[in-house]
Amino acid sequence: MVKKEGGRSSSSSSRSEFQRVIDNCSLIDMGFSGNRYTWTNKRVGLANVRERLDRMLANGEWRMMFPRAQYYISLLLVQTIVLFC
């Protein structure tokens, strides 16, 4: 899945630190439906950058309690759900 389109790539150290937190908390990316990207720099052409910044993360217990939960990304409103382990 492409999480970014355009612009420079983010540093691997910041990505790996975030991934360590996700792994340590045994969190699962719930996926999404709707728009692929949640942020844009609003430029046109090659200067345009779009990214999927938001994630819905949950642990296995939460997934078992809410098996039909979905994360929908709307063009006009993006809701961020933050779960702490």
pLDDT at 59: 94
Angstrom distance (rounded) from CA 26 to CA 44: 39
- Let me know if residue 29 belongs to a domain: yes
Q: Minimal CA–CA distance to 54: which of 73, 41, 68, 40?
A: 73
- Let me know if residue 82 belongs to a domain: no
**What is the tally of structural domains in the chain?**
1
- Let me know if residue 25 belongs to a domain: yes
pLDDT at 12: 60
- Let me know if residue 78 belongs to a domain: no
Q: Which domain holds residue 30?
A: 4-73
pLDDT at 70: 84
- Let me know if residue 36 belongs to a domain: yes
pLDDT at 3: 67
Residue 65's SS3 state is: helix
pLDDT at 11: 58
pLDDT less than 70: residues of the chain: 1-15, 75-85
What tokens does 54 get? 């938001």
